Structure 1
C-alpha cells in the first residue's frame, strides 16, 4: 500500500471539507437566529454555532500546517449556495412552513455525518500527514463532538416528526 501523501489530493480534500464547514456554519447560524425563541431548538443550535465555528477554524489551521492553500473561491461558492438553498418554495409566502425545521435538521444531520467522516479520514492518515499528538487528540475530540451533535439532532427530529404534516407550525419550535 502506497502511503505517500499526494499534496494536490490532500489540498482538494481539505478544501472540500472547509467548503462544507463554511456552508454548515452558515446554515446553523441562520437556524440559530430563526429559532432562538424556541426552547426546543434554540439552545442546541446556539451551541452548534460555537462548535461549528471552532471546528472550521481548526480545520483551516490544520490545513495550513499541512501546507494546504485555501481555495477561497470554493468557500465563497459554498456560502452563496447556502444562501440560495434558503430560497426554497415551501408553499407559504410570508410565514415559515411547519416542515422547515424538520427539513433543515435533516440537512444538518447529513452535514454532521460528512464532517465526522472527514475527521475519521484525517485520523486514519495521521502518521502519513505527520499530525502532532495534539492534533490527533483533537481529531478524537471532534469525532466525539460530531457523534454528540448527531444524537442531539436525531432527538430533535424525533420531537418534530409527529407534527411534520399537521399544517401548523410546531408548538414550541
Structure 2
C-alpha cells in the first residue's frame, strides 16, 4: 500500500467532508420550517456521522488528520456563501438549487472514497469491509434523496407556474 498517497487521499476527503458538513447544516437550517426539513436534517446528521467514520478509518490506518486541510474545507464552505444569487438582500431559489447540487456532488465524492477503501480493504485487514459497504449504501441513499430535492428546487426556480405561485420557496 502506498501509505503516503493514501494519507493524502484520506485527508483531501476529510477536507471535503468538513466542507460538506457546513453546507448540509446550513441548508437544513435554512429550510427547517419546510416540508423538506426532515430529509435535510437527516442528511446533515448522516454526513457528520460519515465524517466521523472517515476519521475512525484514518485512525485505524494510522493516518493523522492534517488540520490545515480541515481548516481549508471549513474556509471554502464559508467563502461559498458569498456567491451572487440574483437577489440582493435575501436568498433566492437559485441559491438552494446550487447548494443542493454542490451537496450532491460532495456525496458522490464521498461514495467514491468508500469504493476506493473497499479496494484497499482487499489488501488491508484492518479495514472493515462490512462497514464500508454500509457507508456506501448510505451515500447512495443520500444521493437519491438529494436528487429528488434538487429536481423539486429546479422546478420551483425554472417552471413558470411554480415561479408565479412560490417565488421564494425553492
1:151 pairs with 144, 148, 168, which one?
144
Give, in whole Å, the separation in 2 of the partners of 1:136 and 1:29. Answer: 29
Equivalent position of 1:136 in the other structure: 129
Equivalent position of 1:113 in the other structure: 108
Equivalent position of 2:89 in the other structure: 94
Equivalent position of 2:168 in the other structure: 169
1:51 pairs with 46, 56, 60, which one?
46
Whether the 8 Å CA contact 2:104–2:146 is kept in 1: the answer is yes
Once the 2 structures are TM-superposed, how far is the Cα of residue 145 of structure 1 from its aligned partner?
0.5
Which structure exhibits the higher relative contact order, with contacts defined as CA atoms closer than 8 Å and separated by 6 or more residues?
1
Give, in whole Å, the separation in 1 of the partners of 2:13 and 2:102. Answer: 16
Once the 2 structures are TM-superposed, how far is the Cα of residue 17 of structure 1 from its aligned partner?
0.9
Task: State the TM-score, normalizing by the size of structure 1.
Answer: 0.90
Q: Over aligned residue pairs, what C-alpha RMSD do you find?
A: 1.3
How many equivalent pairs are there?
164
Once the 2 structures are TM-superposed, how far is the Cα of residue 127 of structure 1 from its aligned partner?
2.5
**3-state DSSP of counterpart to 2:13:** helix
Equivalent position of 2:26 in the other structure: 30
Give, in whole Å, the separation in 1 of the partners of 2:87 and 2:154. Answer: 19
Q: Judge which range, 107-116 or 92-101, deviates more.
A: 92-101
Give, in whole Å, the separation in 2 of the partners of 1:89 and 1:101. Answer: 12
Q: Which runs of 5+ in 1 are unaligned?
A: none
**3-state DSSP of counterpart to 1:99:** helix
User: Residues 15-68 of structure 1, C-alpha deviation per residue, up to 9 Å, x if partnerless?
Assistant: 0111111100110011111110111x2111100121111110111011011010
1:83 has 2:78 as partner = yes
Q: Which runs of 5+ in 2 are unaligned?
A: none
User: Residues 60-105 of structure 1, C-alpha deviation per residue, up to 9 Å, x if partnerless?
Assistant: 0110110101100111011011000011112212111121111111
Give, in whole Å, the separation in 2 of the partners of 1:11 and 1:69. Answer: 8
1:10 has 2:6 as partner = yes
